[in-house]
Amino acid sequence: DTEVTQTPKHLVMGMTNKKSLKCEQHMGHRAMYWYKQKAKKPPELMFVYSYEKLSINESVPSRFSPECPNSSLLNLHLHALQPEDSALYLCASSQGGYSNQPQHFGDGTRLSIL
């Protein structure tokens, strides 16, 4: 059982839709991350939140909009996505965002863009 919970597990959306991915952790971690993973590839970092503030944006297109309402919750708002955005989206958290602290991953949301 993972301690980082992501919903939904699967999402199919059209290119004009607006949807959101949700991630929750109750481990008291203060850093949270969004990754994108294509098939047979490693995860690619998208965003990092540290103490509920956006600290890293890896030049992600504006059609992806992250939000961290509180220390336990991380959202990723999606709008006007492209077919190449189809992927597994992984959320992770770590204790304080320092480099010796491992990241704990959720099981991801598998996104398909029609």
- The binding site for another protein (CB under 8 A) comprises 2, 4, 6, 31, 40-43, 45, 48, 50, 55-56, 90, 92, 96-108, 110
23/78 with CB nearer another protein: 23
- The span from the CA of 97 to the CA of 21, in Å, is 22
Q: How many CA within 13 A on the CB side of residue 58?
A: 11
C-alpha of 60 from chain center: 12
Q: Which is nearer to another protein, 66 or 106 (CB)?
A: 106
Provide, rounded to whole angstroms, the least separation between the CB of residue 16 and another protein: 28
User: Which is nearer to another protein, 6 or 81 (by Cβ)?
Assistant: 6
Tell me the β-bridge partners of 76.
21, 66
